[in-house]
Structures are given as C-alpha cells and as structure tokens.
C-alpha cells in the first residue's frame, strides 16, 4: 500500500498538507492506530530525525463516488521553526535551490503491525516572502 510521492516545503511557512490514500475493500482497523512522519537526511540516517510529527490526525471514510472504495485522509504538519532549523547545503544545491531529504509516513496499528503509507523525497525550498 506504499505510495512514493515527493513533498515540497519551504523554510518560510509551516508544512501542512492533506494527503489522501484511496483503497478498496473493508475499512482498515484504525481503532487505537497512530500515524507518524519523519524527515531525515537520507533513509536510515542515524540519530534523531531532522523533523517529525507523531500522532498525525487522520480520518477514514467511504469514497464519495466509488462504491467499495475508501479514503484515508492524513494531515501532517511541521512547524516553520523546525524547517528553518534544518541543515542546509548538505546536498550541495545551487544558491536558491531546494535542499533534499527523505521522509516516511508510517501507520502503526493497535496490535503493533505497521504499514508504510508514503515515502519519497522531501524538498525544502528556501522560500521568498518572509512577512
């Protein structure tokens, strides 16, 4: 069920997205489940993540127009202050280009089983407007 999708954030704004995963069949067993997201320099990078959101809010509902399908909506958020503090220049971008990191969003069921929902590159642009 893993989706590979690159995400784009900017250092001058909170990162806040609505991500939707459509799936067919019975509803997932989400009672007592949690969703988390970590951003690291690269996959399996040692130490603490550069950014993370534990306990991401989510909803799971029937699809509006497709019978037998459901939509898992996930609402990750990373504060601007965390993004500003992330290291820059590690991937040697040109001036004004985005820094490149890796992220993973994981669903942990009440019984401890896990599914990777989204993975990919987390691009962090410098941003322009500092108002």
Distance CA 109, CA 113 (A): 5
Q: Between 129 and 5, name the one with better pLDDT.
A: 5
**Contact criterion met (CB below 8 Å) for 107 and 48:** no
**Contact criterion met (CB below 8 Å) for 22 and 117:** no
Query: How buried is residue 82: exposed, middle or buried, by Cβ count under 10 Å (0-12/13-18/19+)?
Result: middle
The whole-angstrom distance between residue 80's C-alpha and the CA centroid of its chain comes to: 15
Low-confidence winner among 37-46, 69-78, 93-102, 107-116 (lowest mean pLDDT): 93-102
Please determine, looking at this structure, whether the domain spanning 3-125 carries the CATH number 1.10.260. no
Quick one: what percent of the chain has pLDDT higher than 90?
85
Q: Residue length, the chain?
A: 131
The pTM of this model reads 0.91
Q: Which pLDDT belongs to residue 85?
A: 95
Q: Between 1 and 10, name the one with better pLDDT.
A: 10
Please state the domain extents for the chain: 3-125
Query: How buried is residue 126: exposed, middle or buried, by Cβ count under 10 Å (0-12/13-18/19+)?
Result: middle
**Contact criterion met (CB below 8 Å) for 107 and 83:** no
Q: 18-66, pLDDT tens digit by residue?
A: 999 999 999 999 999 999 999 999 999 999 999 999 999 999 999 999 9
| pLDDT reading at 129 higher than 90 | no
Q: Which pLDDT belongs to residue 92?
A: 67
User: Closest Cα to residue 83, out of 49, 44, 46, 117?
Assistant: 49
């Amino acid at each position: 069920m893993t989706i590979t999708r690159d995400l784009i954030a900017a250092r001058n704004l909170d990162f806040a997205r609505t991500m939707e995963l459509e799936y067919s069949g019975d509803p997932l067993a989400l009672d007592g489940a949690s969703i988390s997201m970590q951003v690291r320099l690269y996959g399996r990078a040692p130490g603490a993540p550069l950014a993370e959101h534990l306990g991401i809010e989510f909803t799971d509902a029937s699809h509006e127009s497709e019978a037998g399908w459901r939509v898992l909506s996930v609402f990750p958020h990373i504060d601007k202050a965390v993004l500003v503090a992330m290291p820059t220049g590690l991937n040697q971008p040109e001036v004004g280009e985005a820094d490149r990191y890796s992220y993973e969003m994981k669903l942990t069921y009440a019984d401890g089983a896990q599914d990777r929902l989204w993975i990919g590159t987390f691009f962090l642009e410098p941003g322009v407007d500092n108002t």
